[in-house]
Amino acid sequence: MNLQVTSSPDKKSTDQHQVHVEDFPNPQAFLDGPKVGPDCSQLIFLKGYESTEWLKTIGAALTVDPEFWRRHGPNYGQEFYDLPLLPSYCHGIVKLRIITILNSRIAGTSTTVERWRVDGKEIIRRHHIKLEKKGSEGESIIRQLYMHSESVYTVEQHISCTVVQKNNGWAGLIWLDFGKTPLPSIQVLSNEDYHSDMPDYCIPVIQPQIPKAALIYPLSEIGPGHSPNGLNSRMTPSSTQSASLLPTQYGEGLKPLNMRISPLYAMSDIFRHAAYSSNQMVNMLTLNIEEALRWAHRHEALSLSDLQFKKDILDEHAAYLEEVVTFLKVGSKSWTVLNPDSSGAPNGADSSNTKQSTRENMQKAEEIASITQAELLEDFNVLIQRIEKLAARCKDGTDIILNRAQLRESQKGIEQAAEVKVLTILVFFFAPLSFVTSIFGMSFVNVDWKIGVPIYVAISVALAIGLGIALTKQVRW
């Protein structure tokens, strides 16, 4: 996207700020295209798995920090443990997450849900290995896979952004994991043979600023029998992600003049799209958590596992949102300070007018960046608060289930103690009697009943008292 300034030939009318979109089929076409300069800023979108040739071409033409390419890699930071970085070393690079919610056509079972939760990382690892071996340009990249229920799962993808200055102008690089290929179904990702030709329904990310902009699909992507304006246009069998349409729909709600002079404002809709995505995920998790709590009295083990799994997701996502907030507060400064020579003044203007125009542009750019920064910080801070409250609800639900289980075990212990008490009372009377009866039942000699009965009673009482005291002490212990 070229954010250009055009002047009228007669220099009587004011300059026009326009947005011009171009697609480049190969790196050479990009080199032959418009150049970044004082009157032209650019937003460059890269989609999906890119070839080394493209990365080298763009990196050399715009002098891109190699750290930008490295951080977008799927395994970056895992082998050196250097992420997240400290705020002062972010280099103006930010990585945003887009969570896409999908509904599986084939509902699984609780066993398959647990298996996919355990094997999710391995499935993604095989997906990355396949991309590297196959090396197909433009294929979508998936970072994480989360199975939330028998029919609902989410995939996580990234958007990396940075701003570079070149020739008294600037260019914003936006690398999306969303490629030309739609999201594969969970069966395809897990290499399962059944129903692999039936893609799952994709829930698009809703963008309120542009009415139904995220719900507009290319006609070629609409499945047979589905009208683009009908009820089924929101979920097409092609599973097209709304984020893959960002390059063609981007900037419709932004002002071209403000986009040209403020990189943060120009790329603000990328942050908003990520915020909308996180908000939809939080809404979905809220319903799932409420359902797990509602059925906790019948399926304690399943509800407990589900709540713990969702709390881990929420905690990890909250940490990511805090990184974005830190970038907006500290790291985005390199996006708001423009080159003072980038005035965008009309050709032929004298130096005094140029300096005045430069100061005005700088002041306006700072004002726009400040307003944009405040709006974005408010959205992400609200998301963090919602996630923290939801994670606390998961913890409270987990504690309630565990306390209920402990209370039930205590009740069982009390009932068992009562049963032992009754048994002790019975033993207190019958054990000595049976012992004495067995002794006097041995007919060795004939004993007169006047002498035998008192002896029998005395021995029985003594044995009963002794055994009763011993058993009572053991039960108390």
Instruction: Answer for the pair 182, 239: CB distance below 8 angstroms, yes or no.
Output: yes
Most confident by average pLDDT, 79-83, 109-113, 247-251, 322-326: 322-326
Q: Is the pLDDT at 469 greater than 90, yes or no?
A: no
CA angle 50, 96, 212 (to 5 degrees): 95
* Most confident option among 135-144, 201-210, 277-286: 277-286
Q: And the tokens for 264?
A: 């943060």
pLDDT of the residue at 196: 41
The reported pLDDT for the residue numbered 217 is 46
Q: Give 25-42 pLDDT, tens digit per residue.
A: 889 999 998 889 888 889
Contact 398, 296 (CB under 8 A): no
As a whole number, mean pLDDT of residues 52-61 equals 92
The more confidently predicted of residues 80 and 451 is 80
Q: Which residue has the higher pLDDT, 339 or 107?
A: 107
Res 187: pLDDT: 64
Q: Which two tokens stand for residue 154?
A: 């989410």
Q: Which residues pair with 135 in a beta bridge?
A: none
pLDDT at residue 216 greater than cutoff 60:
no
Q: What is the mean pLDDT of residues 78-97?
A: 79
What average pLDDT does the chain have? 77
Q: What is the mean pLDDT of residues 444-464?
A: 63
Higher pLDDT, 99 or 356: 99
Contacts for 269 with CB less than 8 Å, ≥ 6 apart = 209, 250, 251, 253, 254
**Phi-psi map region of 135: left, alpha, beta (phi>0 left; psi -120 to 50 alpha):** left
User: Which residues, at least 6 apart from 223, have a Cβ–Cβ distance to it below 8 Å?
Assistant: 236, 237, 238
Torsion sign across C-alpha atoms 120, 126, 128, 130: negative
The residues near 471 (Cβ < 8 Å, ≥ 6 apart) are: 424, 427, 428
List, for residues 384-417, the tens digit of each pLDDT value. Answer: 999 999 999 999 998 888 888 888 777 777 777 7
Q: Which is higher by pLDDT, 360 or 117?
A: 117
For helices 300-326 and 110-134, the axis angle rounded to 10 degrees is 40
**pLDDT on residue 114:** 85
Among 32-41, 85-94, 367-376, which stretch is predicted with the lowest mean pLDDT? 85-94
Does 345 have pLDDT greater than 50? no
- What's the pLDDT at 290? 92
SS3 string, the chain, reads CEEEEECCCCCCCCCEEEEECCCCCCHHHHHHCCCCECCEEEEEEEECCCCHHHHHHHHHHHCCCHHHHHHCCCCCCCCCCCCCCCHHHCCCCEEEEEEEEEECCCCCCHHHHHHHHHHHHHHHHHHHHHHHHHCCCCCCCCCEEEECCCCEEEEEEEEEEEEEEECCEEEEEEEECCCCCCCCCHHHHCCCCCCCCCCCEEECCCCCCCCCHHHCCCHHHCCCCCCCCCHHHHCCCCCCCHHHHHHHHCCCCCCHHHHHHCHHHHCHHHHHHHHHHHHHHHHHHHHHHHHHHHCCCCCHHHHHHHHHHHHHHHHHHHHHHHHHHHHHHHHCHHHHCCCCCCCCCCCCCCHHHHHHHHHHHHHHHHHHHHHHHHHHHHHHHHHHHHHHHHHHHHHHHHHHHHHHHHHHHHHHHHHHHHHHHHHHHHHHHHHHHHHHHHHHCCCCCCCCHHHHHHHHHHHHHHHHHHHHHHHHHHHHC
Q: For residue 195, name the pLDDT band (cuts at 50, 70, 90).
A: very low
212: left (phi over 0), alpha (psi -120 to 50) or beta: left
Cβ contact 372:329 at 8 Å: no
Share of the chain above pLDDT 70, in %: 70
pLDDT band, residue 113 (cuts 50/70/90): confident
Mean pLDDT is highest, among 37-51, 97-111, 119-133, 396-410, for 37-51
Of the ranges 208-222, 226-240, 262-276, which one carries the lowest mean pLDDT score? 226-240
446 falls in which pLDDT band (50, 70, 90)? Answer: low
The whole model's pTM is what?
0.78
pLDDT of res. 111:
82
pLDDT tens digits, residue range 231-265?
Answer: 333 444 344 556 777 888 788 888 888 888 889 99
- The model's pLDDT over 287-321, given as tens digits with 9 standing for 90+, comes to 999 998 888 777 788 889 899 999 999 999 999 99
Comparing 17 with 305, the larger pLDDT belongs to 305
Q: What is the pLDDT of residues 150-173, one digit of tens each?
A: 888 898 999 999 999 888 889 999
Q: Are 436 and 460 in contact (CB under 8 A)?
A: yes
pLDDT of residue 346: 42
Taking residues 66-71, report their average pLDDT: 88
% the chain with pLDDT above 90: 26
> What contacts 178, CB < 8 A, 6 or more positions away?
47, 48, 98, 140, 157, 241, 243, 244, 246
| pLDDT-wise least confident of 18-27, 264-273, 285-294, 419-428 | 419-428
pLDDT higher than threshold 90 for residue 272: yes
Instruction: Say what the pLDDT of residue 395 is.
Output: 92
